[in-house]
């Protein structure tokens, strides 16, 4: 592949020097590369700034791969994949499902690989990543000898790149369903179906901690396939788990059966309604888990999202017995940690509860984020305890 040049503004050069990996199209002064090409990036005085994926469609026109000049070929990709794998070998234990490659967080922009035992799912979310799909699959096969590699390119963000949404088998033959261990518990996984490749792997360490700290009567409000519920069931006397999706509750029940967990009641309901009802009924719990979907998907939704977070956290705090535990999360990238803490502080004040912070946590270590790129940190998870 011939290397083509892109010229960027001084402002964009500063951004890259500060460690950011994205250059917006408004900062690209010239580039006549093919969609998805790897380009050498220069400033207006022809000083080299980095090598990057070029996208002809997205507002993120360039994604920096490295600050070093030179050809980006197979050895580069294999090196980055090996580095990603070396990290997982250190931070993932007792678990068969985890994120092997976390895009920008692993210096592999717009590339995501999840492992479900010996089944791999791959997402190539930009034109550049999509163009090297074949090479990535080959490298992954060589590295891990997986049973199969599935393309989970049904993520909406691909539309921003004018890439088709598609799911398919790229290698081997794909089981419709398999069972994978997470923290020593079994979960059914459908690698080619389900939200976000079937599991919310980013909460794994938080689920482990929830299990350590949970007790008594528990309520899990956005339970999906039972990730938190089944973890805390091991330490609680009784768990009520609700989700608005019937599909989710069906999978959660199957997962509970698989683990011979009998102290969880799963029900389809709206968490907002259920929390309000229990507040009116003066029901009390010792442990509550709130892991809602992202209420803010863009800046314009922020105010409404904050009202939503405040509402559920306020109700949950009112429902807790003194000494009770609240595990509360936001996966909205727009809501940073200080903002989230602020919302919870307001909720606690309105609920007239005094609250201790036991842990401020984030996405699991197999979802590393970049120090220099706040966009890569999206999950905030607080472990709180009500004093009185």
Catalytic residues: 331
Query: Which residue from 272, 276, 333, 385 is in contact with ligand SAH, where contact means CB under 6 A?
Result: 272
110 vs 229, which CB is nearer to ligand SAH?
Answer: 229
Length of the chain: 388
293 is a site residue for ligand SAH (CB under 6 A): yes
CA distance 259 to 220: 18
**Residue 203: CB minimum distance to ligand SAH, A:** 5
Residue nearest to ligand SAH (CB): 227
CA distance 38 to 42: 13
33 vs 364, which CB is nearer to ligand SAH?
Answer: 364
Scanning 66-74, 142-150, 170-178, 264-272 for contacts with ligand SAH by CB under 6 A, the matching segment is 264-272
Query: Which residue from 292, 325, 334, 364 is in contact with ligand SAH, where contact means CB under 6 A?
Result: 292
Query: Which residue from 36, 109, 227, 368 is in contact with ligand SAH, where contact means CB under 6 A?
Result: 227
228 is a site residue for ligand SAH (CB under 6 A): yes
Query: Which residue from 3, 238, 245, 259 is in contact with ligand SAH, where contact means CB under 6 A?
Result: 245
Scanning 27-35, 63-71, 224-232, 359-367 for contacts with ligand SAH by CB under 6 A, the matching segment is 224-232
383 is a site residue for ligand SAH (CB under 6 A): no
245 vs 342, which CB is nearer to ligand SAH?
Answer: 245
**Residue 223: CB minimum distance to ligand SAH, A:** 6
232 is a site residue for ligand SAH (CB under 6 A): no
**Residue 148: CB minimum distance to ligand SAH, A:** 23
**Residue 49: CB minimum distance to ligand SAH, A:** 39
Return the ∠ at Cα 246 (arms to 233 and 94), rounded to 5°.
Answer: 40
215 is a site residue for ligand SAH (CB under 6 A): no
**Residue 2: CB minimum distance to ligand SAH, A:** 45
**Residue 32: CB minimum distance to ligand SAH, A:** 43
Instruction: Say how far residue 188 (Cα) sits from the centre of its chain.
Output: 19
Interface ranges with ligand SAH (CB under 6 A): 200, 203, 222-225, 227-228, 242-245, 248, 270-272, 291-293
């Amino acid at each position: 592949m011939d290397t083509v040049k892109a010229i960027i503004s001084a402002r964009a050069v500063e951004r890259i020097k500060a460690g950011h990996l994205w250059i917006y199209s408004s900062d690209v002064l010239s580039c006549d590369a093919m969609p998805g090409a790897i380009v050498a990036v220069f400033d207006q005085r022809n000083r080299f700034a980095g090598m990057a994926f070029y996208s002809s469609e997205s507002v993120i026109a360039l994604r920096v791969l490295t600050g070093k000049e030179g050809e980006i070929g197979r050895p580069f990709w294999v090196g980055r994949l090996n580095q990603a794998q070396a990290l997982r070998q250190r931070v993932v234990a007792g678990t068969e499902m985890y994120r092997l490659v976390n895009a920008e967080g692993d210096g592999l922009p717009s590339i995501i690989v999840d492992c479900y035992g010996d089944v791999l799912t791959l997402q190539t979310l930009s034109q550049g990543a999509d163009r090297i799909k074949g090479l990535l699959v080959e490298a992954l096969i060589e590295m891990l000898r997986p049973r199969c590699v599935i393309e989970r390119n049904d993520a909406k963000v691909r539309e921003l790149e004018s890439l088709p949404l598609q799911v398919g088998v790229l290698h081997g033959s794909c089981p419709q369903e398999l069972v994978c261990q997470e923290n020593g518990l079994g979960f059914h996984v459908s690698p080619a179906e389900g939200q976000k490749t079937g599991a919310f792997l980013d909460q794994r360490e938080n689920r482990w901690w929830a299990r350590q700290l949970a007790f008594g009567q528990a309520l899990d409000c956005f339970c999906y396939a039972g990730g938190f519920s089944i973890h805390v069931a091991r330490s609680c006397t009784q768990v009520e788990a609700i989700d608005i999706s019937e599909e989710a509750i069906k999978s959660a029940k199957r997962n509970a059966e698989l683990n011979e967990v009998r102290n969880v009641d799963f029900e389809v309901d709206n968490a907002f309604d259920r929390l309000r009802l229990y507040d009116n009924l003066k029901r009390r719990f010792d442990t509550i888990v709130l892991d809602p979907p992202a209420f803010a998907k863009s800046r314009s939704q922020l105010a409404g999202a904050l009202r939503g977070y405040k509402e559920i956290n306020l109700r949950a705090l009112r429902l807790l017995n003194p000494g009770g535990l609240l595990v509360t999360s936001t996966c909205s990238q727009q809501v940073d940690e200080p903002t989230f803490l602020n919302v919870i502080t307001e909720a606690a004040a309105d609920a007239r509860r005094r609250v201790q912070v036991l842990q401020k946590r984030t996405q699991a270590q197999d979802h590393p984020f970049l120090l220099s790129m706040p966009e890569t940190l999206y999950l905030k998870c607080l472990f709180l305890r009500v004093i009185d």
